[in-house]
Amino acid sequence: MLRSRSGVFLALVISALGTGCGMVVNHSPEVRAGPIPSPKTVAPGEVVQMLFEVQDPDGDGMEYYWTQSPAEPAGRFSDPRSRAPTWTAPDVDGPKHFLLQVNVVDNEGGGVLGTAPSVLVRVP
């Protein structure tokens, strides 16, 4: 029985020291708006502006990683590492939908994935 009490005591001491030693819980970034493409229907070569508002509750710096799906034919982001880039639609043979996504990671390893409504690229 003495052994059980010392184990509980040790667990309580470690728990108390852990919370008193500056261990801070990181909160992931929070999406406030978007991502929203504007316009949602374009011709090849036209530009789509992305609206995206995100904040980190801890005030950590954030990095952005934009991608499109499907990957081919490839459109072009003005800067795939910026918060709200533009995207230039690729050449297509017929109507094609693209999903534009952003992965946001804070400096402490928290992250969130944002997916925009699909963008339709139509041949005029």
Mean pLDDT of 70-87: 95
pLDDT band, residue 13 (cuts 50/70/90): very low
Rg (CA), the chain: 23
pTM to 2 decimals?
0.75
Residue 70 and residue 74: Cα distance in Å, rounded?
8
- Average pLDDT over the chain, rounded to an integer: 82
Tell me the one-letter amino acid at 118.
S
Average pLDDT over residues 35-62: 92
- Say which residue, 42 or 111, is predicted with more confidence: 42
